Amino acid sequence: MNRVTIKDVANRAGVSKTTVSHVLNKTRAVEETTRAKVLQAIEELGYRPSQVARSLISKRTKTAGLLISDVSNPFYPDVILGVEEVAFAEDYSIFLCNTNYDLERGLKLVQSLVDKSVDGILFMSSSMSLQMVKEAVENQIHVVVLDWEDSNLQDMASTITINFESGIQQAVRHLVESGHQRIAHISGPLNLWTAQVRRNAFLKALEQNGLDPQQAVIIEGDLRIEGGRKAFDQLNQISPRPTAVVAANDLMALGVLWAARNAGLELPRDLSVVGLDDIDLASKVSPSLSTVALPRREIGKMAMRILLDMIREGKEATKAQVTVDTTFVLRQSTQRVR
Amino acid sequence: MNRVTIKDVANRAGVSKTTVSHVLNKTRAVEETTRAKVLQAIEELGYRPSQVARSLISKRTKTAGLLISDVSNPFYPDVILGVEEVAFAEDYSIFLCNTNYDLERGLKLVQSLVDKSVDGILFMSSSMSLQMVKEAVENQIHVVVLDWEDSNLQDMASTITINFESGIQQAVRHLVESGHQRIAHISGPLNLWTAQVRRNAFLKALEQNGLDPQQAVIIEGDLRIEGGRKAFDQLNQISPRPTAVVAANDLMALGVLWAARNAGLELPRDLSVVGLDDIDLASKVSPSLSTVALPRREIGKMAMRILLDMIREGKEATKAQVTVDTTFVLRQSTQRVR
DNA sequence: TTGAAAGCGCTAACAG
DNA sequence: CTGTTAGCGCTTTCAA
């Protein structure tokens, strides 16, 4: 009634553990008849090799950690699916860890992953610290970091950088060409790296399109629908009210959209709104949301591929540095100013 | 440069591995001075015990698998958070696995989890087969199953049953009391157990409220927004059109809501809509969505707690059978018929 | 073509 | 109070 081990198989097949191991891993020639006996014994006993025992020797667990901020942020599900898609193909399993935007909790999660000897960690939480990465790297665990930078990072981890500038620049240009002059930005919490990057990209885009970044209205939100609503309330106080707003994510953009409608504005006539992420919902609401799209699933796949490469290469694996572009998707929530 | 092992610590502290192990696990008395030496050595070397080696002996990995249909279904994130909350407190890590509603893939995922010797598996995918459960149980892995039943399940797994009847009954009663007579149902794919359960609960609720289940309009959807839209189109053909609709989940309810508005109906005046799940969005859209709420996070916590109990009890753990109730949440998408 | 034996990093009798 | 020793289930020299 206990676990069937390689020894049981060996006994049943009348061979040594060594032989069983070799037929299992095809790691040396075995006579066809013995091979058959072994295979049959395996079948009869329902034997499954213990990954744990294997890991002890191979120093590989075929597991990886995925650190995110919070699964309920609709940015993540597609990324996760992408990660899982390539992980599954290589028989890797993924530990999902939510930091809840808490650095301390993040560190604990990393330590737990280290203890479990994951082969690698994908850092995709927007709450990041160098310490987390160090903790992993010092324990020979490969690391891929998404959308975060630190001067000490280069030699420790592969990085995937999201080029927000491309998409946001397209969005702003579209707005300006549509006659908008007063364009506001609703940022994420500015203690988050990614929120700063997006805001800077926005300011740069203004400049590139002949608007004065100094004059720009920037409201700090919480990346959630509610934050968008509140931001609209503030926006609505300003006179003259901005005619367009670029939000740091789709959730806040939807918040703006809905709050504006509740306030009696007609959209997009009275206010053009641009989101960022292109979550599923963006195309499903009405008016559908114009947004700066991220290839989320691709990002997930890419991250896991890079990680697997590093694992294969081993200790001195070269660190990749990839950039993914964003693109503006025009839908119904933006319109020429009248 | 290699991993620091217990042996290194023992050497450095000038004691045996045994002693180190014992101070680590507080598993027998150790003289304070030696204890201090050991602790210092651990500190200096930055030693972390290998969970893999421990697992080989203890037959425990402090990991569990969580099988779901698809993370991008907004039902899951909160459940995941609940699971993680209690798992984290016990230093358990969670392998997240998406079946993508594919039974075969589900089985492969389970096998992979079995190979990795997870201590338990939480089955929360709506695509279930007895084979998956068997695969786990035969390998001494504890199992908790959510919202699925099978006569053979009892002695193998703990179960959490969602009592859809309570909430749906409340919803239908509310509608009937508000004067609705023609109430339609948009079900999930009827090959899914949970879709059948919800539909049956709906039919029963009709009966309990004096309506004829035989007459009921039931449209099969896909549990997504698009499915709701399509369902509305069908609904809209019917004459006289039902005055209310109960959808099998919030996503489809939103689809109905939006499609109806696009078709020129005014909501909730022309059509009352009830969802199921109470996803975050439900309270955020306007009109906000009346819905049958599930305590998702609670379900996650409960499931993980039950699993941990089973793990602690070991082999002959008693199987829990819990039921969680649902409740109707009245918002703006339903209204008295005029 | 096959096996014996050592060892991965740890725990747990059993002795002292 | 501490150490020796024998494994956990597997892979991998080294020998035959």
Whether B96 maps to a domain, the answer reads: yes
- A125 shares contact with chain B (CB less than 8 Å): no
**Distance of alpha carbon A216 from alpha carbon A202, whole angstroms:** 10
Whether A16 maps to a domain, the answer reads: yes
Range of the domain at A209: 164-294
Three-class SS state of B293: strand
Whether A333 maps to a domain, the answer reads: no
The values of phi and psi at residue B27, to 5°, are -105, 0
pLDDT of residue B1: 66
pLDDT of residue A337: 87
pLDDT at A30 over 70: yes
Q: Number of structural domains, chain B?
A: 3
Please check whether residues B171 and B198 belong to one and the same domain.
Answer: yes
Provide, rounded to the nearest whole percent, the portion of chain B with pLDDT above 70.
100
Please check whether residues A149 and A211 belong to one and the same domain.
Answer: no
pLDDT of residue B123: 98
Query: Cβ distance A291 to A282 under 8 Å?
Result: yes
Cα dihedral A254/A256/A260/A265 (nearest 10): -80
Whether B122 maps to a domain, the answer reads: yes
pLDDT at A338 over 80: no
**Across all residues in chain B, what is the average pLDDT?**
96
Confidence of residue A299 (pLDDT cuts 50, 70, 90): very high
Residue A295 CB partners (closer than 8 Å, separation 6+): A324
CA-closest candidate to residue A47, choices A91, A88, A12: A12
- Please give the average per-residue pLDDT across A148-157, as a whole number: 93
Q: Do B71 and A72 touch (CB under 8 A)?
A: no
- Please give the average per-residue pLDDT across A76-90, as a whole number: 98
- Please give the average per-residue pLDDT across B306-327, as a whole number: 95
Does the CB of A59 fall within 7 Å of any strand D atom? Answer: no
Whether B108 maps to a domain, the answer reads: yes
Whether B330 maps to a domain, the answer reads: no
Please check whether residues A219 and A254 belong to one and the same domain.
Answer: yes
Provide, rounded to the nearest whole percent, the portion of chain B with pLDDT above 90.
97
- The partner residue sitting opposite A55, judged by closest CB among B52, B71, B94, is B52
Using alpha carbons, list the distances in angstroms from residue B110 to A47, A93, B64: 15, 11, 11
- What residue type is assigned to position B224 of the chain? R
pLDDT at A52 over 90: yes
CA-closest candidate to residue B159, choices B139, B130, B202, B135: B130
- CB count within 10 Å of CB A243 equals 20
Confidence of residue A154 (pLDDT cuts 50, 70, 90): confident
Q: pLDDT tens digits, residue range A84-142?
A: 999 999 999 999 999 999 999 999 999 999 999 999 999 999 999 999 999 999 999 99
List, as one string, the DSSP characters of B196-232.
HHHHHHHHHHHHHTT--GGG--EEE--SSHHHHHHHH
Helical ranges in A48-75 per DSSP H = 51-58
Confidence of residue B2 (pLDDT cuts 50, 70, 90): confident
- Please give the average per-residue pLDDT across B17-35, as a whole number: 94
CATH number of the structural domain spanning residue B172 = 3.40.50.2300
CA angle, residues A244, A247, A251, in degrees to nearest 5: 125
Please check whether residues A48 and A169 belong to one and the same domain.
Answer: no
Distance of CA B185 to the CA centre of its chain: 23
pLDDT at B173 over 90: yes
pLDDT of residue A9: 96
pLDDT of residue B337: 87
- Please give the average per-residue pLDDT across A256-278, as a whole number: 96
Q: pLDDT tens digits, residue range B197-221?
A: 999 999 999 999 999 999 999 999 9
pLDDT at A2 over 90: no
**Distance of alpha carbon A171 from alpha carbon A292, whole angstroms:** 7
Please check whether residues A145 and A188 belong to one and the same domain.
Answer: no
Whether A335 maps to a domain, the answer reads: no
- Please give the average per-residue pLDDT across A163-177, as a whole number: 98
Q: pLDDT tens digits, residue range B117-172?
A: 999 999 999 999 999 999 999 999 999 999 999 999 989 999 999 999 999 999 99
Chain B CB contacts of A3 under 8 Å are 59, 139-140
Please check whether residues B107 and B19 belong to one and the same domain.
Answer: no
User: What is the least distance, in Å, from the CA of B157 to any CA of chain A?
Assistant: 18
**Across all residues in chain A, what is the average pLDDT?**
96
- A62 shares contact with chain B (CB less than 8 Å): yes
Nearest nucleotide to the CA of B37, by C1', is D2
Using alpha carbons, list the distances in angstroms from residue B78 to A13, B297, B303, B310: 49, 5, 13, 23
- A76 shares contact with chain B (CB less than 8 Å): yes
Whether A227 maps to a domain, the answer reads: yes
List, as one string, the DSSP characters of A246-270.
EESSHHHHHHHHHHHHHTT--TTTS
Please check whether residues A116 and A237 belong to one and the same domain.
Answer: no
User: What is the least distance, in Å, from the CA of B207 to any CA of chain A?
Assistant: 35
Does the CB of B28 fall within 7 Å of any strand D atom? Answer: yes
Q: Which bases along strand C come within 7 Å of a protein CB atom?
A: 1-5, 7-13
Q: Tell me the longest C-alpha to C-alpha distance in chain A.
A: 88
Q: Do A115 and B51 touch (CB under 8 A)?
A: yes
Please check whether residues B145 and B237 belong to one and the same domain.
Answer: no
pLDDT of residue B277: 97
Please check whether residues B201 and B273 belong to one and the same domain.
Answer: yes
Q: Between residues 270 and 329 of chain B, which touch chain A (CB distance below 8 Å)?
A: 280-281, 284-286
- CB count within 10 Å of CB A114 equals 19
CA angle, residues A80, A81, A85, in degrees to nearest 5: 115
Beta bridge partners of B163: B325
Please check whether residues B152 and B198 belong to one and the same domain.
Answer: no
CATH number of the structural domain spanning residue A20 = 1.10.260.40
Please check whether residues A93 and A126 belong to one and the same domain.
Answer: yes
Please check whether residues B185 and B273 belong to one and the same domain.
Answer: yes
Q: Do B112 and A93 touch (CB under 8 A)?
A: yes
